[in-house]
Amino acid sequence: TWRASLELFIKDVLAHEGTLPALLDSPVVYTNDAMSMYGMSASGPSFVRNELDGVQRRGLLTQPGFLAFKAMPDGSSPVRRRIFVMDKLMCETPAPPPAAFTPPTPTTTTTTRERFAAHSQNAGCKACHQFIDPIGFTFEHFDGMGAWRDTENGQPIDSSGGVVASNDGSLVQPVADINGLSALLAKSPMVHACVSKEVFRFALGRPLTEQDSCTLARLGDGFYKSGGDFRALMRAIVQTEAFRTNLNPEMTP
């Protein structure tokens, strides 16, 4: 159900606006009767298109399917959610955790944010987590199922955060929640370049190499200048030599 809802959302964006900003900002959510926990009614198994007011949910990063997939069985996961943002939207993948890393154990008295904040004071964790946790904390209004919450274990939710360090200086600023972060990401040239890179890699069906760097630069620049138009990006990709020849550059004479 979650996957179908997420796929319908993506298809909806591509069929209408068709842009990266819309993917990160659209207030549309598809639900059926198995998704009543999200506060949107549906009379049966068929999915219904809900166009919300955008106050709580806007775009891909607030879709129930995404939030539930990037969570843990026992609750929300600031780590898994922020890794997606940093890896797939910013192309600034954080360093892997130490081999001995274990997530803080859930409790019935503290919030997820409090547990991770305390955990990250550990000398071996703080150096990285002081920069990466503020992204993950912006998701905290959504529980492990992706349902909205104002409190956790009787404590009010604090979803403030933001980007503390990035190669794109325009992203480095505080935000109140994930909607604020999504708005920043939607305007970033670096995010457009990162997404175009992911689409290009998928279209080629192979890992990217250093020989693709010039093509990637052109695609990213064109995608940003087009307003994040996915149709324009796909047209540009199919015109590249790499796509037309579909050769692995490492094997080219």
Cβ partners under 8 Å of residue 194, min gap 6 = 88, 89, 90, 91, 220
Q: Measured in Å, how far apart are the chain's first and last C-alpha atoms?
A: 48
What digits encode the pLDDT tens for the residues 189-201? 999 999 999 999 9
What digits encode the pLDDT tens for the residues 126-155? 777 788 889 999 999 999 999 999 999 999
Q: Could you tell me the pTM of the whole model?
A: 0.90
Res 253 pLDDT > 90: no
What digits encode the pLDDT tens for the residues 70-88? 998 888 999 899 999 999 9
Q: Are 26 and 41 in contact (CB under 8 A)?
A: no
